[in-house]
Amino acid sequence: MISQEARILNAIKDSGKRGIANYKLSRYALQYNRAIHDLRAEGHNIVCERVYNWRGKATGTFKYLLRDDT
């Protein structure tokens, strides 16, 4: 069975440059923040960016991207 961390890492990798939204990650694990914390501890460079609407206001959505992963 594949771990939650592995599923989340694969989802972030598959999202590419556009990133994956936090509400989509919650489909993989309700505590996706914990899994991302563990992945960062393993050395994965996962960044989080706030999403803004067309008026420039924060939407409450965040996207996660993988940068320079080796």
State the pLDDT at residue 2: 78
Structure confidence at residue 40 (pLDDT): 96
Domain count across the chain:
1
pLDDT of residue 68: 76
- Beta-carbon contacts of 18 under 8 Å, excluding residues fewer than 6 positions away, are 63
pLDDT in tens, the chain (70 residues): 678 999 999 999 999 999 999 999 999 988 999 999 999 999 999 999 999 999 999 999 999 999 975 4
Tokens coding 9: 């890492």
Structure tokens at 16: 């590419």
Which residue segment(s) compose the domain that 8 sits in?
A: 4-66
Q: pLDDT value at position 63?
A: 97
